[in-house]
Amino acid sequence: MENEKGESSSTFKMDNSAQERSLPYVPDCYAVPPSYEPRDALDSNSEIVPTIDISRLKSSDDERRGVIQELSSACQRFGFFQIVNHGINQNILDDALEVAHGFFELPAKEKKKFMSNDVYAPVRYTTSIKDGLDKIQFWRIFLKHYAHPLHRWIHLWPQNPPEYREKMGKFCEEVRSLSLEIMGAITESLGLGRDNLSSRMDKNGMQVMAVNCYPPCPEPTAALGLPPHSDYSCITILLQNLTGLEIFHPSAHGGSGRWVLVPEVKGVLKVHIGDHVEVLSNGLYKSVIHKVTLNEEKTRISLASLHSLGMDDKMSVPYQLVNNENPARYRESSFNDFLDFLVKNDISQGEGSLTLLESRTDRVKKKGLIE
């Protein structure tokens, strides 16, 4: 089937997507399903989004306890918070965004070197989620690569731009150190102790970088950069150059929920609670449902650093959080289990990763996000 522009309305193949070709219209296969559209006006009040001064974790015991309480509240209410005074130099953040943008500006033949639909590949460049396979396409181009241990993977990363490995590598190292500090505070807030998970993550944990590019879209309300989803990680730390990230605030509007646009403030990092922390907390902390909207004039770059246990290391509910009144609500699973799930399912159709673990898709359906 062809639309009025003479283009096929079926899904596009890699290197031939509408966003790569800068088409002046949005093809049918990018159309946002009604179930993805917000039912209420977007609330962009920056005061809604929790912001935590993470440097206070290194202050007095009283200060640390105060920060951990703030963090616990944010994890329960939103599954999301922003952090300031995180200790990463602004130049490192700016350099990482710069080389990411530079990669996407390279000629197609240079980027093709990394093209792959293999979700198990340690480095891959692609578009949408699974090119040519998903029924709905998304207005995104991305490069994913493993980042820990850095010495094992960095030689597989792009050599162009010339400073990509150096500058992105420095960002990955700094963010990884920060992730261990945050995970220590999360497990401490659950009464599990500061080293409950961070030691396992430090030794054998996974760090996956999703380097995302969302080109200008001629009809930004007609498509999405990413559909509503949660991250299959313990936590994700995000850096972006423009707004576009929206999180779902489930308790807003008397419990009916509302989408919230996360403001962009230079130097502020965003922390997503992922599915595995929801499992770790036995449901006390919720992985955040989020999506990406588009801009008509500007390119949005985001760097999402996903942190989890080792590839085959299973996350399960700890015995300390289970009793007769509060039984374990989740099955154990690993990052590799998620990759297997991704191969077999079309998450653009609402097959969320937590269906691996429990029927949390039902909770998402109740919010009207997925039909």
The pLDDT-based confidence of 132 (bands split at 50, 70, 90) is low
For residue 6, pLDDT over 70 is answered with no
For residue 8, pLDDT over 50 is answered with no
Find the largest Cα–Cα distance for the chain.
66
Give, in order, the Cα–Cα distances in Å from 119 to each of 70, 77, 194.
Answer: 36, 32, 33
Measured N-to-C along each axis, helices 61-77 and 164-189 cross at an angle, to the nearest 10 degrees, of: 100
Determine contact, residues 244/295, Cβ cutoff 8 Å.
Answer: yes
Helices assigned H by DSSP within 32-136: 61-77, 90-104, 108-111
The pLDDT-based confidence of 358 (bands split at 50, 70, 90) is low
For residue 18, pLDDT over 90 is answered with no
For residue 348, pLDDT over 90 is answered with no
List the one residue out of 88, 61, 282 whose CA is nearest residue 187: 282
Mean pLDDT of the chain: 86
List the one residue out of 295, 253, 239, 291 whose CA is nearest residue 41: 253
Highest-scoring range by mean pLDDT, 28-32, 131-135, 343-347: 28-32
The pLDDT-based confidence of 137 (bands split at 50, 70, 90) is confident
What tens digit of pLDDT does each residue of 84-117 get? 999 999 999 999 999 999 999 999 999 999 998 8
The pLDDT-based confidence of 352 (bands split at 50, 70, 90) is low
Determine contact, residues 276/315, Cβ cutoff 8 Å.
Answer: yes
Q: What pLDDT sits at residue 355? A: 56
The pLDDT-based confidence of 344 (bands split at 50, 70, 90) is confident
Q: What pLDDT sits at residue 10? A: 46
Helices assigned H by DSSP within the chain: 18-21, 61-77, 90-104, 108-111, 150-153, 164-189, 198-204, 275-280, 335-344, 360-366
The pLDDT-based confidence of 342 (bands split at 50, 70, 90) is confident
The pLDDT-based confidence of 366 (bands split at 50, 70, 90) is very low
Q: What pLDDT sits at residue 143? A: 97
Determine if the pTM surpasses 0.85: yes
CA 124 – CA 114 distance, rounded (Å):
5
CA 170 – CA 178 distance, rounded (Å):
13
Domains of the chain: 18-366 (2.60.120.330)
> Residues with Cβ < 8 Å from 81, sequence gap 6 or more?
49, 50, 51, 52, 70, 71, 74, 75, 270, 271
Q: What pLDDT sits at residue 199? A: 82
